[in-house]
Amino acid sequence: MQKNEQDRQVMIVAGEASGDLHGARLVQAMLKLDPCLRFCGMGGRELRGAGVELLADAAKLAVVGAVEVFSHLGDILRARRALIERMQARRPELLILIDYPDFNFLLARKAKKLGIPIFYYISPQVWAWRSGRVRTIKRLVDRMAVILPFEPAFYARHGLQVDFVGHPLLDSVKSELSPDAFRSLHAIEPNRPLIGLLPGSRRKEIATLLPIFLDAAGLIARELPQGIFLLPQAPTISRALLDQHGLAAWQKRIDIRVIEKDRYAMMAACDAAMAASGTAVLELGILDVPTVAAYRMSPHTYWLGRLLIRNLRFFSLINLIAEREVIPEFLQDAANPEQIARTTLAIIQDGKMTQKMLTGLAEVRCRLGGPGASQRTAAAALNLLKERGESRG
């Protein structure tokens, strides 16, 4: 394949839905700065929509756990082979890797041998576990852009300078409707408290946390009968799965409404929420919603994690960023209906507790760096591209 001198080839690799979304925004920002760029790589619907030529479908690789990895090993190897073959046949001027470390480190080793500069966007959670991977990053990566405010200090302690670009969710987490407009759209009276139920977007999370959240909702409804519970239905989750894990039974007893659209408007309208620890908790924090974070995993995974993760006081991103407890968080056996219900009720009924939490959430939003993460990352990536081009020239 002959290379058009005016086209500058960039390979971008994302292995999960969040990386696909953040990668697509990065591609769009880079194209605004340099329309001659041409992108190929691995991702999903978002990267394809941004104009990236997909050599591998990330959806086939989105697996969790050793058993699932082995069952998808063929897809993983095929994806890696397709990307390496393109690097060898038409060497890109830059390789952009987004999180997804186990796959991306293997790819980076090959790119390094080929002399391709490597830009890493969104750090693996080396600050939580397997910190030895910092040495791998230092050896392979030419420049790294991180999105959490405590990451630069962590990397500096290991002799590595990184760019803090801010969190990309600040650009995307916005409600198109005011809380009043959302209530009006869904025929909800102004004086009825709204409580969000966000048990996650993976089947295992639904199976584990939805029954707990529904039981907690039942306990809350005893003391707050006028409350309405809002459950967003993720595109990846069927209504049948929700019903299977208790929704249908509970809807006959308390007011639970499934919201299929306007996810952020629904979240922003809530007076309080209970959520699976992860992206949803950070989204709720950005939207200024007091939240109770919870998580459960298999006993084996939990105890393995306890052995590997020894230096973290908190598990929710809100508290990790604040470096103190801003929101209540409950893990494993502590994530039970009674504790979650009691704490959620306290948030709704105790104005001082709510105000203290909102002050903490505002502090976290300030630490996240402000909007424009994709644009700052695009500038850093193009800087590396320019530096390497000049050094070759």
Read off the pLDDT of residues 273-284 as tens digits, 9 standing for 90 and up. Answer: 999 988 899 999
**295-311 average pLDDT score:** 62
How would residue 297 be classed by pLDDT, with cut points 50, 70 and 90?
confident
Q: Residue for token digits 């999903």?
A: 44
Give the other-Cβ count within 10 Å of 291's Cβ: 31
Determine the 3-state secondary structure of 172 from DSSP: helix
pLDDT higher for 202 or 334? 334
Q: For residue 327, give the nearest of 289, 295, 381, 300 by alpha carbon.
A: 289
Q: Rounded distance, CA 353 to CA 345, Å? A: 11
Token pair 């409580």 is at which residue?
195
Which pTM value belongs to this model?
0.86
- Whole-number Å distance between alpha carbons of 95 and 10: 6
In the sheet that holds 329-331, the strands lie side by side as: 256-259, 228-232, 194-198, 272-276, 291-295, 329-331
Is the distance from CB of 39 to CB of 53 less than 8 angstroms? Answer: yes
Q: Is the pLDDT of residue 49 over 80?
A: yes
In 3D space, the residue among 369, 391, 390, 379 whose CA is nearest the CA of residue 119 turns out to be 379
| Range of lowest pLDDT (61-65, 134-138, 176-180) | 61-65
Q: Once rounded to an integer, what is the mean pLDDT over residues 124-138? A: 84
| 53 Cα distance to chain centroid | 24
pLDDT (average), residues 349-372: 95
Residue 63 has pLDDT above 90, yes or no: no
Query: How far is the CA of 187 from the CAs of 220, 232, 289, in angstroms?
Result: 22, 17, 21
Q: Which of 114-123, 189-198, 257-266, 382-391 has the lowest mean pLDDT?
A: 382-391
